Amino acid sequence: MKFSNPIHQTIICIASFFKGNEFIRECRRQGASVVLLTREKLANADWAHESLNELITISGKLNEQSYAAAAVRVMRQRQVKRIVALEEYDVVTAAQLRELASIPGLSTTTARRFQDKLAMRIRGRETGIRQPDFVPLVNHETVAEFMRRTSPPWMLKPRLGASAMGIRRLRTPEEVWRSLSELDSRESFEETAAFHLLERYIPGDVYHVDSLLNDGRIVFASAERYSTAPFEVSQFGGISMSHTLRHGSREEEQLLRLNELLLQSFGIDRGVTHAEFLRAGDTDEDLYFLEVAARVGGAYTAETIEAASGVNLWREWAKIESSTPERPYRGPEVRTDYAGIALSLSRQEFPDTIQYRDPEIVYRINKPWHVGLIVRSPSYERVIELLEEYRRRFTEDFAAVAPPEEKPGQYL
């Protein structure tokens, strides 16, 4: 029987969706062996095979047992140092596998705070973090009492899910009861009302803060603002835009301070996070926590942050996971430019942006039926000016609208 070098340790990556190649490549550059567990239908995806020691695909229904069986087979031949979820839906699964093998990292209890919106809300309430009022959709009397003491509209949210997927805005108690009835008629128990919550709607601007942590300390954080809330774009279409906040502004300081409090109270020690907040006014009391995930933000968030700061979240995260006491992690050098992204669905399968020639363009989105540009400048005002120009031009040249996604596998 052939065994690997006992000094050469392995990182198992779990990805139920196609993402994380830069993480895989950087782990390999850091000297780790990398084994990827993914579902069978992603076997032919464009994975970074040159950096993988092994690619294991899992057929049938994915669950903890199927991933555990695959992970144990790996552990029999390799010394596994870390188990990492590259995707939102695998965060708890990875935690369960760590506990099975006594590998350091997020426990299942802590991991649920970064995946289950109800667990997030309960933890936020326990630690006194300001957030929208909420109620789980389990007991009808409790739901009715919640609607009596809060004003409509309300947000109906799946407890599991990324971005604005599956979220609805409901304006009357009748709409709420109809939605609960429709959810409870679904065939899959995991899609019924008990796996949703109802939340008070608070109008305002939405922000995201993306962080890297090592040994319980935030080593990098970047704060950005969405020009239009993700829910509004997913429901009604339009151009999705996000940009770096003005460095040193009160707005940035408030968000970074709340983000630090959030991550400390939620108990994450190392890795990457993507947190979203809502601002309804100018004071600290007008800042609300919306949600947080232990993953790299989607929709080209990593590329936009790298354009402004020079920090690639995937690569830095890999360095953190690959570090050892003998070779500790050292934080990145950070550039203080500004960046922004304009992104939209496109009427054309392969939209041509050749007429967009501004020298500040540093990245062009290359994805069928999508159009997007990332810009960088030392000037905050120039980034905002370009994004507003692209909002107008994208609307004329490309923009399309598709029905909102209800669940993650809908368009796979």
Domain that holds residue 59: 10-105
Assess whether 30 and 15 both reside in one domain: yes
List the CATH number of the domain containing 158: 3.30.1490
Same domain, 300 and 217: yes
Does residue 115 lie within any of the structural domains?
A: no
What CATH number corresponds to the domain at position 88?
A: 3.40.50.20
> What is the rounded CA–CA span in Å between residue 169 and residue 151?
13
| In a shared domain, residues 328 and 180 | no
Q: Provide the token pair at 257.
A: 């301070």
Is 49 a member of any domain?
yes
Beta-strand relationship, 370-377 and 338-345: antiparallel
| β-bridge partners, 158 | 196
Averaged pLDDT in 10-residue chunks for the chain of 412 residues: 53 95 96 95 95 93 84 94 94 95 94 96 96 96 97 95 80 97 93 96 96 97 90 76 97 96 96 96 87 95 98 98 92 96 95 96 96 98 98 91 57 36
Per the domain annotation, does 110 fall within a domain? no
Position 401, amino acid: V
Q: Which tokens belong to 33? A: 């062996």
My answer on whether 300 and 380 are in the same domain is: yes
**Phi and psi, residue 45, nearest 5°:** -65, 165
CATH number where 354 lies:
3.30.470.20
> Going by DSSP bridges, is the β-strand pair 33-39/54-58 parallel, antiparallel, or unpaired?
parallel
Q: Is residue 242 part of a domain?
A: yes
The answer to whether 99 and 83 are in contact (CB under 8 A) is: no
In a domain, 116, yes or no: no
* Mean pLDDT taken over the chain: 92
Alpha carbons 198 and 150: distance in angstroms, whole number: 11
The distance of Cα 133 from the centroid of its chain, to the nearest Å, equals 22
Residue of 112, 191, 194 lying closest to 406 (CA atoms): 191
Alpha-carbon distance of 134 to 119, in angstroms, equals 11
Residues 189, 218 within the same domain: no
Q: Which one of 89, 105, 121 terminates a domain? A: 105
The confidence score (pLDDT) of residue 230 equals 77
- The answer to whether residue 124 is domain-embedded is no
How many domains does one find in the chain? 3
Among 147, 170, 200, the domain boundary falls at 200
Specify whether 26 is located in the same domain as 152.
no
Going by C-alpha positions, the residue among 170, 131, 138, 128 that lies closest to residue 151 is 170
Strand, helix or coil for residue 361: strand
Answer with the one of 88, 105, 122 that is the final residue of a domain: 105
- Could you read off the pLDDT of 293-314 as tens digits, one per residue? 999 999 999 999 999 999 999 9
Q: Are residues 96 and 231 in the same domain?
A: no
pLDDT at 235: 66
DSSP string, 75-96: HHHS-EEEEEE-SGGGHHHHHH
Same-domain status, 181 and 214 = no
- Give pLDDT, residue 412: 36
Same domain? 238 vs 374: yes
Q: Are residues 386 and 323 in the same domain?
A: yes
Flag whether 189 is in a domain: yes
Q: Are residues 266 and 353 in the same domain?
A: yes
The reply to whether 211 and 168 lie within a common domain is no
In a domain, 403, yes or no: no
